[in-house]
Each structure stands twice: as C-alpha cells, then as structure tokens.
Amino acid sequence: MFLLLKIRKSGFISIECIISIAILYVAVYLVSTSLYNCYSFISRNISDREMLSTAKKYIEDEKYRIQNSKYELIEDKIEKNYINGYEINSRIEQILDYYQCYEINIEIKNEFKKLRFNSYVTRK
C-alpha cells in the first residue's frame, strides 16, 4: 500500500495523461472551429458589403443621369454591365401615372448571391 501511494505522488499515471490530452484536444478543436466560423462570416460579410456599395453607386449614377438630363429624352432601357466582378442588370422605365417619374430596377449577382433593388427618381 505504501508503495502505491509513493508512485501516485511522484507523477501522473497513463490514464490521467490520456484524459488530459483528450480534454486539451477538445478545447483546441472548439477554439479552432469557432475561429474558422468567425473568419468565414467576416469574409462573407465583406463580399456582401462590396455588392451593396457597388449597387448603391450604380443606382446613384443612374439617378444623377436622369435628374440632370433636362433636354435628353430618356427611353425605357435594359442594360447588362460587369463591375468589380459582379453582373449588374438594370432596367429603367418611365411611370406614366406620374409626371417625369422613373423606376430603376437593379439586380446584382455573383456566383453565390443575387440582390435586387428598386428605386424611383423624378427629373428636375
């Protein structure tokens, strides 16, 4: 009995080493999984923000062009452009119920996501 206590005090036995390694492995796995999920969420968020800013800039350019074309006749049109690696489909239609009011429809997409935006603008 005295011999077992003396061995116990001098260090870990093999089962304690295995259990501590298993606990360490689980902790490292949980931390690395959560860090990877945060990284993938941030990278998707950056891509979404780029899409939104590209669409906003495109809509603002179209609004400016429509508002400041005093004498130019603006016809209904459909366009397809590629900006910053995104495909942008735009459609401009005049709303006949309102005086010089136009509807702008924008669809921006990449290989993973598609977003649609509608906006209205009147000529000055």
At 123 the pLDDT is 82
- 74 vs 57: which has the higher pLDDT: 57
Do the domain assignments include residue 84? yes
Do the domain assignments include residue 86? yes
At 116 the pLDDT is 92
Distance CA 117, CA 103 (A): 11
At 85 the pLDDT is 84
Summarised one tens digit per residue, pLDDT across range 29-61 is 999 999 999 998 888 888 888 888 988 998 999
Give the bridge partners for 101, in sequence order.
95, 122
Would the pTM of this model clear 0.75, i.e. be above it?
no
Do the domain assignments include residue 1? no
112 has pLDDT over 90: no
Do the domain assignments include residue 95? yes
Do the domain assignments include residue 45? yes
The mean pLDDT value for 13-38 works out to 91
Do the domain assignments include residue 9? no
Q: Reading across the β-sheet that carries 114-122, which strands appear in turn?
A: 77-83, 86-95, 101-109, 114-122
Give the total number of structural domains in the chain: 1
Host domain of residue 22? 14-122
3 has pLDDT over 60: no
Do the domain assignments include residue 5? no
Grouping H, G, I as helix, E, B as strand and the rest as coil, residue 122 is strand
Do the domain assignments include residue 3? no
1 has pLDDT over 50: no
17 has pLDDT over 90: no
Q: How sure is the predictor about 21, in pLDDT bands with cuts at 50, 70 and 90? A: very high
Distance CA 50, CA 82 (A): 14
What tokens does 62 get? Answer: 């179209």
